[in-house]
Structure 1
């Protein structure tokens, strides 16, 4: 028995097949699957293999387009140019496609994941958010290369690609970082808030003393971002969680409220509630005689939520892991549950705990199509069916998609 050859560094001429979850398309060569980035379905390309684990698949980057698909465009960022080969920024996946094609590809991904993992035949149309393909991002994370220049990591690598600009990020946010030099290895976060203030923080992952913990420091701004959604102000730690697309918070809040439809005087749970964005919308529906319970594991976010929603007496905020808090039998059964879990999804334990309470509606927010589909399948096992789904291109040029699903008792 002979070992399979390692194709790393090889250049393959391949026909590009369908899009797959993960920001790449599927090709085949000599009986093996090749996951090709920076290509489009229907193209013929030369792909350079970047990673070969030795099994039935390998990973590659398109380095030459022999036959282009309709919808291919020149990337607006030089760090995404095909001529750079594997030496490209890993932040964007689809800069070589028009916005329409990007949304078609993302629609196909969500549709396929729901069919494969949840057994649902549910055609999805990913919707566009206001603002276009560029300068939509209000928050970003960069890292300093060995010479102190800020940049982004290459795909599936710790290697830093220095950047003077990032066309998908607001000018003020990126300029505040790329206009100066940093200690090598420093991780930098930047956020431009609704009030126009830019907050930059730096974390030194290479402490000067052996055994010392990483040190974070505020470089500019107050460190507390002020965001405004539907005439309500939200204070959130500049390094904390907030939707990065400028138009996303208001759009998602409106969709969540529309799907939730909490009755006046009703009870709603807001799980993984952050600083209170969705809880504020739910509180409007319940009115002063209702009750909204926000659960969030970050104590800092809960403190912010309490300040942000301090005028809403019907809202209670609890700090703790959702899995543990849902086991509290003293909590009132909810009419509606809203949850916005991390990228990995809610999982069996959380889905079971929610469905045990038999809410009339569950509004599930997801930023990963595979995790969404797995959770939808779990809801199905517990007697809930998906009755509505809206998906949004909240991360143009990248593979990421935000989906909001409504689930109701079956039958």
Structure 2
């Protein structure tokens, strides 16, 4: 790697660097005088000019954005979104918004970068060998839009849920990366068309602090959640909410609108209803307010097919099986698990969010063999074991488990509690390769191994990637 030089002595925060490998989190690694710099909006191998955005003298590493490309990669393309383009932002003396940090990379290049990140995390944090990954992960990260339209092939129009901030002047905006600065936007090209059809950038959001939009891919109706500025009086907040609701009511297809408290997820319906209807090929789901649902329009099918496919093909979901869905949300995996094990089987659904757990009860009310519990996964797993033993039985053992934790991962305590139930197999769904890799190591320390692995690009133009793995006890590897 060549040594960077200061661009000019007058601008010590500006450097020219040759970019090294991709790192988890949407950065690439460069170095200056032995110090690591995490550079956003670069591609490995490029020579670029950068501006340091965080560069305390005693910091272990610095952060930077690309401002000019000196020697581009063959995978560099023009960014599709002006507000998120680092080069155009630099030209006007501004920062780009976050949320599309890979928009300057070809779709083929994005898949390659994400494949490198998944491999590196599983080797460094998960302890998997290069040869094991060569066998498990030869396909690399898979594109889920390859059979779609031209726009979909470019990774656009996929988000069914979007969050927005509001500028000081009341305009729709998004944050710059790692910044409180809110920049105005005029479109959201990653979102499904129903979101842009609302033309939110035309509205006056004075008095509103945050907005969440849920727009199911099935076209069943959009929900807009509005969070008033916390410091407003109740009268002023009410006026702001009514003004925005009236404006949204004039849209060609008016959305449902609700007041929203981001701190406790409470909602108060203003127009329409406070929930959306999500569907899969075989099931319908109610998701209230800001309740969790996979955001890529294809994600529910892709992930359910992969996770349950592992368990079905391995013979772990026979009629009468006892299974669990942990971090179950509104029931995306619970419903097909209930179908697979039949009425003679049993399904334990565990979800931490009270509102989402209530949704699961509504969605699965007709399945008497599904038990839905709300609370912390590790505590409920322990309670299940103690309850079984207290009535003279043995510790509860699951034939199969679907584990779909939040971005932070399951963690050591959950892994320990889950392994204690001695399941035959676990289908692990993860949205963060670092958290997944750490959990793989915890499982390995408990005598478990990754038997199968796939990864999907369910977040095009961002650094995020979804993995689905089949974990089994090492003695059962085949």
Q: If the length of structure 1 is used for normalisation, what is the TM-score?
A: 0.94
CA distance in structure 2 between the partners assigned to 1:8 and 1:294 by the alignment: 57
CA distance in structure 2 between the partners assigned to 1:251 and 1:14 by the alignment: 39
Moved more, 176-185 or 143-152: 176-185
* Closer, same or farther: CA 8–238 of 1 in aligned 2, 3 Å: farther
Residue 233 of structure 1, aligned match among 278, 284, 297: 284
Larger Rg: 2
Q: Is the 8 A contact 1:9 1:48 kept in 2?
A: no
- In structure 2, runs of 5+ residues without a counterpart are 1-9, 146-151, 238-258, 262-266, 389-395
Structure with greater helix share of residues: 2
- Whether 2:180 is the aligned partner of 1:162: answer no
Question: Shift of residue 208 of structure 1?
Answer: 1.7
CA distance in structure 1 between the partners assigned to 2:196 and 2:271 by the alignment: 13
* Closer, same or farther: CA 268–308 of 1 in aligned 2, 3 Å: same
Question: Shift of residue 41 of structure 1?
Answer: 0.6
- Whether 2:130 is the aligned partner of 1:127: answer no
Residue 195 of structure 1, aligned match among 211, 219, 226: 219
Count matched residues: 405
SS of 1:353's partner is helix
CA distance in structure 1 between the partners assigned to 2:471 and 2:202 by the alignment: 47
Question: Shift of residue 196 of structure 1?
Answer: 3.6
Cα deviation 1:210-266 (Å, max 9, x = unaligned): 9x9985655655221101102311110141100110000011111111122312210
Q: Is the 8 A contact 1:200 1:218 kept in 2?
A: no
Partner of 1:327: 382
Question: Shift of residue 161 of structure 1?
Answer: 1.1
Residue 248 of structure 1, aligned match among 299, 323, 330: 299
Question: Shift of residue 38 of structure 1?
Answer: 0.5
Q: Is the 8 A contact 1:205 1:214 kept in 2?
A: no
Cα deviation 1:174-211 (Å, max 9, x = unaligned): 4423231102561000011223411101112333249x
CA distance in structure 2 between the partners assigned to 1:282 and 1:228 by the alignment: 16
Partner of 1:99: 107
Partner of 2:231: 207
CA distance in structure 1 between the partners assigned to 2:306 and 2:367 by the alignment: 21
Structure with greater strand share of residues: 1
Say what the alpha-carbon RMSD is for the aligned residues: 2.1
- Whether 2:138 is the aligned partner of 1:117: answer no
- Whether 2:344 is the aligned partner of 1:280: answer no
- Matched ranges for 1:64-79 at <5 A: 64-79=68-83
CA distance in structure 2 between the partners assigned to 1:217 and 1:157 by the alignment: 30
Q: If the length of structure 2 is used for normalisation, what is the TM-score?
A: 0.81
Q: Is the 8 A contact 2:208 2:226 kept in 1?
A: no
Moved more, 310-319 or 56-65: 310-319
* Closer, same or farther: CA 74–232 of 1 in aligned 2, 3 Å: same
